[in-house]
């Protein structure tokens, strides 16, 4: 056996080796001019990874003090309740209704609360106060938000990845055995009275994962908009302003392998678009009449 050397050492390997072993520099330097010493440098330096330093009994006190300080800082910063344990955090923002602004911070999950923290607690709620959670597109901002129903109020949250945020909050709630009441869209359709609602199949447009498919959900007719709520994803998938609806009719044919007749709703989107709903004929007729009644008279 002959000793071999790893052929390709990298700079990181070299640094690591130096830090692991430690490096002591002990130098005396005299800078002189015309044979007369002018400046003297007596240099003593030790460079090593802290673990190596500790092995040699150096910087022990420093290590402990610095760690103690940062431990204390973190504890002081986060005002936790007694027996409260943090189980995760995520960057998110919440809509501060009184100030009409979004406030961003770290959203902490603990075994007792969910709270948003940045220098101070911006928002907090006990886990058991949370009654409902849905993802929906905000009607003003046109982006997806999480709506959390807490006792009698609704709070909006936002994160870069909204689905991650949903799993983050929902997972925590469910972990502690709190069952959300059946999510209700009522509170999403802010200020709009819901005129009528029925279970309804909806022809979901194709996306990356699926071809066009019929999906189960709930159709809502509110004062200004028609909503379809996907019970599977628990979010509103479709919003049609009633004043954009151009035509409503029951089609005799059964497109896309529908079991029943379908209700075709055409509306003015970027062009004239049509969506299909399906249910028993009786219910479709009822909806045809309802929508026609709600449509502007000009149509």
Partner 1 sequence: MIDIDEKNLKHGLLGLVIALVEIIKDALKLQAIRRVESEKLTEEETERLGQALADLDKAIEEMKEEQGVSQAVQSVRKGFDDLANDMLNKLTNPLKWEEKDKEVKNEKIMAS
- 18 or 24: whose CB is closer to partner 1? 18
Neighbours of 262 (CB within 10 A): 24
Q: Indicate which single residue of 1, 11, 41, 179 sits in contact with partner 1 (rule: CB under 8 A).
A: 11
Q: Could you write out the DSSP letters of every residue in 55-70?
A: HTT-SHHHHHHHHHHH
Is residue 4 at the binding interface for partner 1, with CB under 8 A as the rule?
A: no
Hunting for tokens 């003015």 — which residue is that?
Answer: 268
Q: Which is nearer to partner 1, 71 or 272 (CB)?
A: 71
d(CA 13, CA 293): 77
By the rule CB under 8 A, 151 interacts with partner 1: no
- Angstrom distance (rounded) from CA 224 to CA 294: 9
Cβ atoms of residues 298 and 223 within 8 Å: no
Q: Which residue has the tokens 């919440």?
A: 94
In whole angstroms, how far apart are CA 147 and each of 19, 51, 136, 189, 223?
A: 51, 48, 7, 11, 21
Nearer to partner 1, 49 or 283 (CB): 49
- Give yes or no for residue 21 binding partner 1 (CB under 8 A): no
Give the x-and-dash track for 65-94 against partner 1 (CB under 8 A).
--x---x--x--------------------
Rounded to whole angstroms, the Cα distance separating 171 from 88 reads 11
Q: How far is the CB of 12 from partner 1 (least distance, A)?
A: 4
Site string for partner 1, 180-219 (x = CB under 8 A): ----------------------------------------
- CB within 8 A of 172, min separation 6: which ones? 87, 88, 109, 114, 127
The nearest distance, CB 56 to partner 1, in angstroms, is 14
Applying CB under 8 A, the span of 6-14, 37-45, 120-128, 225-233 interacting with partner 1 comes to 6-14
Two tokens, residue 121: 């607690």
Say if CB 22 and CB 53 are below 8 A apart: yes
**Closer to partner 1 at the Cβ: 32 or 70?**
70
Residue closer to partner 1 (CB basis): 36 or 74 = 74
Asked if 19 touches partner 1 (CB under 8 A), the answer is yes
Task: Report yes or no: 175 and 111 within 8 Å, Cβ to Cβ.
Answer: no
Residues 249-288 that bind partner 1 (CB under 8 A): none
Residues of this chain, 30-69, that bind partner 1 according to CB under 8 A: 49-51, 54, 67
Q: Which residues contact partner 1 by CB under 8 A?
A: 5, 8-16, 19-20, 49-51, 54, 67, 71, 74
């Amino acid at each position: 056996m002959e000793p071999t050397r790893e052929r390709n050492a990298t700079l990181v390997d070299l640094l690591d080796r130096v830090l692991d072993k430690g490096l002591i520099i002990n130098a005396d330097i005299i800078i002189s001019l015309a044979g007369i010493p002018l400046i003297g440098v007596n240099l003593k330096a030790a460079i090593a990874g802290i673990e190596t330093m500790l092995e040699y009994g150096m910087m022990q006190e420093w290590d402990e003090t610095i760690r103690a300080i940062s431990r204390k800082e973190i504890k002081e910063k986060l005002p936790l309740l007694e027996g409260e344990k943090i189980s995760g955090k995520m960057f998110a923002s919440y809509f501060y209704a009184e100030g009409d602004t979004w406030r961003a911070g770290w959203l902490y999950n603990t075994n007792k609360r969910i709270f948003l923290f940045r220098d101070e607690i911006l928002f907090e709620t006990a886990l058991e106060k949370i009654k409902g959670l849905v993802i929906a597109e905000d009607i003003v901002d046109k982006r997806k938000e999480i709506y959390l129903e807490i006792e009698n109020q609704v709070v909006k949250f936002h994160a870069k990845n909204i689905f991650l945020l949903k799993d983050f909050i929902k997972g925590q709630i469910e972990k502690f055995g709190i069952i959300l009441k059946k999510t209700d869209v009522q509170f999403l359709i802010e200020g709009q009275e819901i005129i009528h609602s029925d279970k309804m199949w909806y022809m979901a447009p194709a996306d990356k994962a699926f071809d066009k498919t019929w999906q189960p959900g709930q159709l809502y007719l509110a004062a200004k908009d028609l909503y379809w709520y996907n019970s599977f994803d628990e979010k509103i998938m479709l919003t049609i302003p009633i004043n954009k609806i151009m035509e409503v009719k029951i089609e005799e044919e059964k497109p896309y392998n529908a079991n029943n007749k379908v209700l075709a709703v055409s509306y003015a989107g970027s062009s004239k678009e049509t969506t299909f709903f399906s249910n028993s004929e009786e219910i479709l007729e009822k909806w045809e009449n309802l929508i026609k009644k709600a449509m502007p008279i000009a149509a």
